[in-house]
Amino acid sequence: MRRKLAAGNWKMNGTQASLAELGKLATAHAAPAVDILICPPATLITAACAHAPIAIGAQDCHMASAGAHTGDIAAAQLKDAGATAVILGHSERRDAHEEHSDLVRAKARAAQAEGLMAIVCMGESLAQREAQNTLDIIGGQLAGSIPDSSTGENLVVAYEPIWAIGTGLVPSLDQISEVHGFIRARLERRFGAGVGRSVRLLYGGSVKPDNAADIFTVPDVDGALVGGASLTAADFSPIIKALEAV
């Protein structure tokens, strides 16, 4: 049985003062029925680890283990700081930093080699959705971004339609179901039923307290990757509770 996962991506938000929100979250969910993960800026990872039972992740890593890569962070360094997971291939990285699927796969392989869980993101643009190319785009990103070393323990796949991230727009439940079912089938075909069925699939894109419960009823939605609503306990806690109620 796949354990549900509520993951928060703080993006480039947060300072030391923001860790008070993690304290509130940890108090409200001292014995959670689901896994809770927060991925703050790298500057906060070590300090954030004090707030058990919340797991702490990162937002990116380099594919190399060390070297002359100014400004980058290796997976081993993230693990050393206390991270247990890392988000890779987010559309904001694919777009603003021109990250292609081959690079995402190399980063995911590096993360998995260090014992980190790789949360690999994928999603289509509005133009691709309107052209009915969604499954082709997702299929290509799945094939190109997921390492052969993936298992249910070291891989999470997050479907985040680009047009829904931070816009308030949300796909219909049928659209989410179609994509998540497609991802599940592709994973089973590639890795076999055992591994394919054990990988958790998250939905991300304008997930909020008022729509989370409906989204979590969709088959093969094992949780959510939440952006802005994960920045405060007041917004993120109801999402966690909605996931626990499934």
Query: Which domains, and CATH codes, for the chain?
Result: 5-244 (3.20.20.70)
**Rounded to an integer, what distance in angstroms lies between the CA atom of residue 208 and that of residue 245?**
15
| Closest by Cα among 60, 42, 40 to 51 | 40
**Rounded to an integer, what distance in angstroms lies between the CA atom of residue 192 and that of residue 188?**
5
Tokens of 176: 């989410």
Tokens of 125: 């643009």
Task: List active site positions.
Answer: 90, 160
**Rounded to an integer, what distance in angstroms lies between the CA atom of residue 134 and that of residue 143?**
14
| Residue 122 · residue 94 · CB < 8 Å | no
**Rounded to an integer, what distance in angstroms lies between the CA atom of residue 191 and that of residue 146?**
11
> Helix/strand/coil (H, E, C) string of 146-165?
CCCCCCCCCEEEEECCHHHC
Q: Terminal CA-to-CA distance of the chain, rounded, Å?
A: 13
pTM above 0.85, yes or no: yes
Per-residue pLDDT of the chain (246 residues), as tens digits, is 899 999 999 999 999 999 999 999 999 999 999 999 999 999 999 999 999 999 999 999 999 999 999 999 999 999 999 999 999 999 999 999 999 999 999 999 999 999 999 999 999 999 999 999 999 999 999 999 999 999 999 999 999 999 999 888 889 999 999 999 999 999 999 999 999 999 999 999 999 999 999 999 999 999 999 999 999 999 999 999 999 999
